[in-house]
Structures are given as structure tokens and as C-alpha cells.
Amino acid sequence: MSETILIVDDEKVIRDLTAMVLTTRGHVVITASSGSEALKLVEESVPALVLLDYMMPGMDGMQTLSELRRLSPSSYVVMFTGKGSEDLAVEVMKSGAYDYIRKPFNNQALIDRIENVLRLRRIELRNRDLLAERERLLAEIADWNRELEKRVELKTRALEEAQGEIIQAEKLGALGHLSAGLTHEIRNPLNAISLFAQVLNQSPLEGDVAGYPDKIIAEIERIDQLLVRLLKVSERSVVDLVNVSISQVIQDTLLTFSEHLKTQGITLETDICSGSTEIRTDEEEIGQIFTNLFSNALQAMPTGGDLLVGLKQVDSQLEISVADTGPGIPVENLNRIFDPFFTTRKQGTGFGLSTVLRIVKSHDGRISALNRPEGGVEFTITLPLTRSSIL
């Protein structure tokens, strides 16, 4: 394997003799008579080894050595010197030379020393390449690990969401069976109570008790309405489905809340996309989603704030966002807000968001809720578009 060797010496006879010896060994040899000339050649050819004279006029060997180490760290330097003291050996080694050879030199000894240095250089450069390759591979493995961790995190999150959806579906299914049975069992005694109240209403009652039958009948009707709402949470009515514009439903629903927004000092911000936003649904049912979400937002901001409503198309789906600047939802309640009967309000029934979830799921959609970093809560809903609106 031929390697380039640069000989730097101000004596021509030394340069020629050394070049002849090394050329016969198959090395490519270039020469320089001064330190400045040597530096130019190093920049051009980057030799594997530099044989450098210690004593030279102008830029001496030590000055040249310092510049060589800066310009070409991969070029190894062996110093020629007529002196042989230990102090000199220590000086040249500390300055970056790999070895030194005393003048006059024996040809075979010169060859042996140079080839030994070149062999060690090849080993060290190979080690350096291996270390660099090791660092590259470690960095690549670290990148793979990070990517794997991200994928595991995404898959875990998706599984958790899927598990949550299964649990919600099971809850709604169980609620359906429970509510159907309870409604039947409760309505029977309610009907009897109502009949007794009507009989009492036809009897001559006086004083404070005169109005009791009407009050009993009113309470019975209120319980009956509660049962109706309970059934609606878990069951979808059989209706004729038509193409409905979600953007129009949102705007119409917002219009019904316009007076409430003004009264409470709430600023409305909308970002609703243009173009077709149709899905196949029942307009009244889909409107319940926004009625419930807007109502919840207004209740969260009794003294003013911002209501932010967004609608955009992402691929073959509609993405709807409803956000407020209220106090947000306690973290411990975030996973329970869609549960039937769960509510933190004294007058709440816990049916609103359960109904929203049931409607969204019946449209093969998804809904999630997160607390916003700037305050308030944001609901995000995705609903698949109808085929005709995608074309």
C-alpha cells in the first residue's frame, strides 16, 4: 500500500537520499526545502507522513510542526535532528511529533522506523473510524429507540382511547337495558299515583291542601320527562336520515344562544370552513350535540369570556372544536364527564354529555375533551363526511 511521504529539509542531499530510499519501498515521495513550502504541499496533498528537519533557516522545525498539526491532524510527523538529547525527544513529542530520527541515519533503520510509524498510523486511523462508526451507530440506535418509544406511546394511547370507547359503549349499553326496565317499572306506580291525584283533584279540598293534587301531577310529569331523557341517552330513535350541513346547524344553534351571549358578555369567535360540510343524519338529533356543548360553555362563563367554535375538513372527516375560557374541568373528572349521571352541578342530571357521546358514536365519530393551557376546556369532535360531499 503506497502512501505519500513529505520530506522537509534545507539540505538537498538529505532530501534526495531519503527520497531515493523511500521510493524503492514503493512510497510516493514529495519534498520541500523550507517550512513555508512544506505547509503549502500539506494543504494540497495531505501526506500520511512528514519527515521534518529540526534545524532549518527561517521557519524552523518546531514552528513548522505546530502549523502542520493545525493544518493536517491526520499527517504524522517524524523529526530529523542532529541532536539526540532526552530533553529534545520530550520537546518534539510534546509538540506533536510521533517519533524522531537522528542524523546521520542508517537506511534500513530509517525504513523500519518509518514503516512502523505508518503501520501504527493505519491502526489508529482505523480505530478512529471504528469509534466514529460506533458513535454513528449509537446515535442511530438512539434515534430508533426514540422512534420506537414514540410509536409505543402512540399505540398505547390509541389502545387506551379504544378501551375507553369500549367501556363507554358498554356503559351506554348497560344504561339502555337498565333504563328500559326502570322506565317500565317506574311508570306503572306513577300512573297509579297520577290517577289518585286526579281523583283527589275532583274532591272538594280546602285550605293549603287544595293545590296539592296539581302539584303531585306536575311532579309526576317531571319524573316522566326525566325518564324520557334517560331513554334518549342510550337509544337512538328510528328516523329518516338526510344530508345535513353541519356548518349550517352550528350557525343556527349559535343563533338561538345569541341573546345569552350578549347578556353574559361572552365574545363569540368562529372559524368555519367554506365548502360542503354535509353528513347523513337527523338534523334535530345532530343539533343536540351543539346545544349541549354551547350550553355547557355558557354555564362555565357566567361573568363573561370567549366561546370559540371551529369547523374544518381533514381528509374525509369533519373536525369540530368547541372551546371556552372558563375554569376548565378538574383533571380527576376528565375521564368521567361522558359517564351517564355524572355531574358536578347541583341541578344537573348528568345526561347532556352522555347524549352527545351517544350521538357522536352513532355517527361513527369520536369526541374528546382537554383542558386548554390558557384556561378553559376544548371539545374536539370528528365526524365522517358523506360520500357525495367528498367527491
Distance between the two ends of the chain, CA-based, in angstroms?
68
Mean pLDDT value of segment 373-380: 93
Whether 323 shows a pLDDT value over 80: the answer reads: yes
Q: Is the peptide bond before 213 cis (omega within 30 degrees of 0)?
A: no
Q: Cell 370528528: give the residue.
A: 382
Q: Count CB neighbours of 381 within 10 A.
A: 23
Mapped onto helix, strand or coil, the DSSP state of residue 16 is helix
User: Rounded to an integer, what distance in angstroms lies between the CA atom of residue 258 and that of residue 125?
Assistant: 77
What pLDDT is stored for residue 165 in this prediction?
66
DSSP states of 324-354: E-S----GGGTTTTTSTT--SSTT--S-HHH
Q: Which CATH superfamily is domain 4-105 in?
A: Response regulator (3.40.50.2300)
Better pLDDT: 231 or 110: 110
For 222-258, b/e burial (b = at least 16 CB within 10 A) is eebeebeebebbbeeeeeeeeebebbebbeebbeebe
Q: Which range among 75-89, 296-310, 342-356 has the greatest average pLDDT? A: 296-310
HSE of 106 in the Cβ direction (CA atoms, 13 Å)? 4
Whether 291 shows a pLDDT value over 50: the answer reads: yes
What pLDDT is stored for residue 350 in this prediction?
59
Whether 273 shows a pLDDT value over 60: the answer reads: yes
Whether 174 shows a pLDDT value over 70: the answer reads: no
| Backbone CA torsion sign across 213, 219, 221, 223 | negative
Whether 246 shows a pLDDT value over 90: the answer reads: yes
What pLDDT is stored for residue 352 in this prediction?
76
Topology of the domain comprising 239-390: Heat Shock Protein 90 (3.30.565)
Taking CB atoms within 8 Å and a gap of at least 24, the contacts of 78-84 are 78/49, 78/50, 78/51, 78/52, 78/113, 78/114, 78/117, 79/52, 79/53, 79/54, 80/9, 80/14, 80/51, 80/52, 80/53, 80/54, 81/53, 81/54, 81/55, 82/54, 82/55, 83/54
Mean pLDDT value of segment 336-342: 74
Better pLDDT: 14 or 347: 14
pTM: 0.48
Q: Return the DSSP state at 35.
A: H
Domain ranges of the chain: 4-105, 239-390
> What percent of the chain has a predicted confidence (pLDDT) above 70?
83
